[in-house]
Amino acid sequence: MNDDGARFLLTQLLALSPTLFVHLVAIVLGLVFLNRARLSAVLTLVAASLSLLTSITAVVLQSRLIAGVNEGALQHQDIDTSMRVIGISSSILHAVCMALFLTAIFVGRKPSAGAGAA
- What is the per-residue pLDDT for 49? 97
Q: Chain-wide mean pLDDT for the chain?
A: 88
- What is the per-residue pLDDT for 112? 73
Write the burial class of residue 17 (CB in 10 Å: 0-12 exposed, 13-18 middle, 19+ buried).
exposed
* Residue 2 pLDDT level (bands cut at 50, 70, 90): low
Q: Is residue 114 part of a domain?
A: no
Average pLDDT of span 97-104? 96
| Calpha distance 113→64 (Å, rounded) | 55
Q: Is residue 58 part of a domain?
A: yes
- 20 close to 52: Cβ distance less than 8 angstroms: yes
H helices of the chain, where?
Answer: 3-32, 38-70, 76-106
Beta-carbon count within 10 A of 96 CB: 15
How many structural domains are present in the chain? 1
* Residue 104 pLDDT level (bands cut at 50, 70, 90): very high
Q: Which domain holds residue 14?
A: 3-106
Q: Is residue 74 part of a domain?
A: yes
pLDDT tens profile 43-62? 999 999 999 999 999 999 98
